[in-house]
Amino acid sequence: MKKLTEAELKSQDFEAMIDLLAHYSEAANRLEEIQASVNGEFLSIIDDEKQAYAQAQAALTEAETALEFIARMHPEWFKTRQSIKTPYGTVKFRASSALEIPNEEATIILIHQAESTDNTMAARELVKTQEVIDKEALEELDDATLKRLRVKRVAKINFSVDPAKVDMGKAVKSAMESA
């Protein structure tokens, strides 16, 4: 690191830089003080509400489990639509799938072999650089190709619950139209 000359140390620009560094450090320290204060207040608020939060979380989990049990007992309710909307919220099923790869190393080898014989398959798009299978890319393949690579597409039906809430955009629009 170069030492500054006496003239450089006494220049107005150097003095301005020192002043700005002082202001910068003061502001940075003040931000840290504010952050520490906010963190303390946040922890105080959380402490005051943690029991109520835990109870609400437990009630939410219990209700969701019971809702899913009832919904799965009545598949006929979801024959024409995947969701049931009520004034108290919505229950719905959403179809999805996941890929099961029992032996990633074997599948990687099969992908590399397939690349050499199949011009449409590029291993660099199906296998990540660190030799981890890119499941998102594999999902694009048809089931026959997946079977050849020893990958099985497993269908799942996921359940979710949405709480009822007021759509403020619709409420404002409705109020504007009736005014």
Q: Where are the domains of the chain?
A: 7-73, 89-163
The tens-digit pLDDT sequence of the chain (179 residues) is 678 888 888 889 888 988 889 889 989 989 889 999 998 888 888 888 888 889 999 999 999 999 999 999 999 999 999 999 998 999 999 989 999 999 998 998 898 888 877 777 777 788 776 788 999 999 999 999 999 999 999 999 888 877 766 565 665 566 667 66
82, 94 in Cβ contact below 8 A? yes
Number of helices (H), then strands (E), belonging to the chain: the values are 7, 5
pTM higher than 0.75, yes or no?
no
- The backbone torsions φ and ψ at residue 157, rounded to the nearest 5 degrees and listed phi first, read -120, 115
Q: Are 154 and 98 in contact (CB under 8 A)?
A: yes
- The C-alpha atoms of residue 161 and residue 83 are separated, in whole angstroms, by 10
